[in-house]
Amino acid sequence: MEQMLQMTYLWLKAGHIIFVIFWMAGLFMLPRFFVYHQEATPGSPENAVWVEREARLRRIILMPSLIVVWIFGLTLAYSTGAFHQGWFHAKLLLVVLLSGYHGWLVAYAKKLARGERPFTGKRLRLLNEVPGLAAALIVVLAVVKPF
């Protein structure tokens, strides 16, 4: 029984990490798409191609990964008692912020589809540092568990 629980935990953790990779890949790709999308004239055929690419990335990669990462992560937390540990509180805060960033990207994609171009390409490139920084901190918290 003990061994079965241990195996379930390891499979859950493997699934969690696999979908974290997919989610992060999507979070890195979408703002890169925006940089190129912004250069297309609103209403042009090229603009329509980017709108479709972004919608597919959101539908096929980003949204399913977000859901699976949260479900597996919360199940792991429940099974390990992480809800009572300091590192997990900090990780949860960062992951909530990262999920908010995901939501912001979706809203930005909708603005681009409407022909709005609120940010410059340079600002979008800078913003692309956000998921990398967040991922580094989250991994250190999850692996090192410094507190």
| CA 116 – CA 9 distance, rounded (Å) | 46
The minimum distance between CB 16 and ligand HEM, in angstroms, equals 6
Footprint (CB under 6 A) of ligand HEM, residues 109-138: 135, 138
Is 91 annotated as ligand-binding? yes
Cβ atoms of 38 and 124 closer than 8 Å:
yes
Residue with smaller CB distance to ligand HEM, 36 or 78:
78
Among 1, 4, 107, 143, indicate the residue that binds ligand HEM (CB under 6 A). 143
Cβ atoms of 85 and 139 closer than 8 Å:
no
As to burial, measured by CB atoms within 10 angstroms (0-12 exposed, 13-18 middle, 19+ buried), residue 127 is middle
Is 13 annotated as ligand-binding? no
Is 69 among the residues that bind ligand HEM (CB under 6 A)? yes
> Which parts are annotated binding residues for heme?
16, 91
